Amino acid sequence: MNAFWIATIGTSVIAFALKFAGHSIPQHWLESPKLQKTNALIPIALLSALVAVQTFTSESKVIIDHRLAGVSIAVLALILKAPFPVVVISAAVTSAAIYNWL
């Protein structure tokens, strides 16, 4: 058994233990307003981090290219309260236009 399999099995055991611990937490701990507020913000933080990594990196290097323009247009459309399909399409069209232009 090599290091890859040890890491895979170890990670699986840790994931199972975390899931089991999550189901074992008493209900009254989960009803805390502070915990619920924090729990609501976790997906936003994770999605923001994913967008940042996908926008500013390529092959482990920080870059600025057409993706930044697309995300910028999407942010502008969100600020202007555009419907979600308009946000996505405007970002995609902007990014594609700049990619083909360069």
Residue range 64-92: mean pLDDT, rounded: 95
Q: How many domains does the chain have?
A: 2
Residue range 51-58: mean pLDDT, rounded: 91
| Runs of H (alpha helix) within the chain | 3-24, 27-30, 33-56, 66-79, 84-101
Residue range 4-14: mean pLDDT, rounded: 96
Q: Which domain holds residue 20?
A: 1-29
pLDDT value at residue 75: 95
Residues 18, 37 share a domain: no
Residues 64, 39 share a domain: yes
Residue range 9-27: mean pLDDT, rounded: 93
Find, among 61, 62, 82, the residue nearest to 73 by Cα: 82
* 102 has pLDDT over 80: no
Residues 73, 34 share a domain: yes
Residues 42, 23 share a domain: no
Residues 13, 24 share a domain: yes
pLDDT value at residue 30: 84
